[in-house]
């Protein structure tokens, strides 16, 4: 039944890894297809003509794009190991923080990763502010979702990406000293098998980011 679910993804994409993590946590068998984003497959373009991006989930030939949309679909279709809270207000809060991560934190982090000098400094300031706000949500809890890992942890696990990105771009915005609670949470996460299976390989990732920075630098000359 593994052919029922296909995931088109990319190893360095935190959005793609997110969906993989959800699939593993829910024990959903799937076929993974690695996409070369510089040479997108005809299948990807056929199934996701509007955005042409990964991750792309195909379930029984029906395609779905956008990681957050996919996560909710997985939770509604496979009811075991629920990842979203049951209470409507709790769900609204989980969705709010997911949006904050995707629309504020990640773009700022990308800016830090791809810039230098003053622009990078400003980016780091902004990231610090945003991380502080996010860290508040962890206070007094084991995970963002409460006692066990859930939707917001899956969405937020892109913070792992900050490690590699930090070293490769010469500045680590996420340090233990500044964000002890986030670090504690990361320590808990990596004890979970499914999380470890979805981690972006550190060195490969650092090389990837360094290459990106180089190409951006030469593009702007």
Partner 1 sequence: MADELVLLDFWPSPFGMRVRIALAEKGIKHEYREEDLRNKSALLLQMNPVHKKIPVLIHNGKPVCESLIQVQYIDEVWHDQAPLLPSDPYQRAIARFWADFVDKKIYELGRKIWTTKGEEQEAGKKEFIECLKLLEGELGDKPYFGGENLGYVDVVLVPFYSWFLAYEKCGNFSIEAECPKLIAWAKRCLQKESVSKSLPDQEKVYGFVLQLKKIFGIE
Residues of the shown chain interacting with partner 1 in the complex, contacts defined by CB under 8 A: 50, 59, 62, 64-66, 68-70, 72-73, 76-77, 88-89, 91-92, 95-96, 99-100, 133
Nearest distance from residue 47's CB to partner 1, in Å? 12
**Separation of alpha carbons 28 and 18, rounded Å:** 14
List Cβ neighbours of 1 (8 Å cut-off, separation of 6 or more): 29
**Separation of alpha carbons 78 and 20, rounded Å:** 14
Nearest distance from residue 50's CB to partner 1, in Å? 6
List Cβ neighbours of 90 (8 Å cut-off, separation of 6 or more): none
Nearest distance from residue 96's CB to partner 1, in Å? 6
Nearest distance from residue 137's CB to partner 1, in Å? 11
Nearer Cβ to partner 1, position 100 or 208? Answer: 100
Nearest distance from residue 83's CB to partner 1, in Å? 14
Continuous H helices in the chain: 14-25, 42-47, 67-77, 88-100, 106-114, 117-136, 151-156, 160-169, 180-189, 193-197, 202-219
- DSSP annotation of 143 reads B
Nearer Cβ to partner 1, position 91 or 111? Answer: 91
Nearer Cβ to partner 1, position 69 or 211? Answer: 69
Nearer Cβ to partner 1, position 88 or 140? Answer: 88
Nearer Cβ to partner 1, position 46 or 221? Answer: 46
**Separation of alpha carbons 11 and 34, rounded Å:** 7
């Amino acid at each position: 039944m593994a052919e029922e679910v296909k995931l088109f993804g990319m190893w360095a994409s935190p959005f793609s890894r997110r969906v993989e993590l959800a699939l593993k946590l829910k024990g959903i068998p799937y076929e993974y297809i690695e996409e070369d984003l510089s040479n997108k497959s005809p299948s990807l373009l056929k199934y996701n003509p509007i955005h042409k991006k990964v991750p792309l989930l195909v379930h029984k030939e029906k395609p779905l794009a956008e990681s957050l949309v996919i996560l909710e679909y997985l939770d509604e279709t496979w009811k075991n190991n629920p990842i979203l809270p049951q209470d409507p207000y709790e769900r609204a809060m989980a969705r709010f923080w997911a949006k904050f991560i995707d629309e504020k934190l990640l773009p700022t982090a990308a800016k830090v990763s791809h810039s230098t000098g003053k622009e990078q400094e400003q980016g780091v300031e902004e990231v610090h502010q945003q991380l502080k706000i996010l860290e508040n949500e962890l206070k007094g809890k084991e995970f963002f979702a409460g006692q066990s890992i859930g939707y917001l942890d899956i969405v937020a696990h892109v913070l792992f990406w900050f490690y590699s990105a930090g070293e490769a771009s010469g500045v680590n915005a996420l340090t233990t000293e500044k964000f002890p609670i986030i670090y504690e949470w990361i320590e808990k996460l990596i004890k979970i098998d499914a999380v470890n299976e979805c981690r972006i390989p550190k060195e490969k990732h650092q090389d990837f980011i360094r290459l990106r920075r180089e190409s951006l630098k030469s593009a702007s000359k």
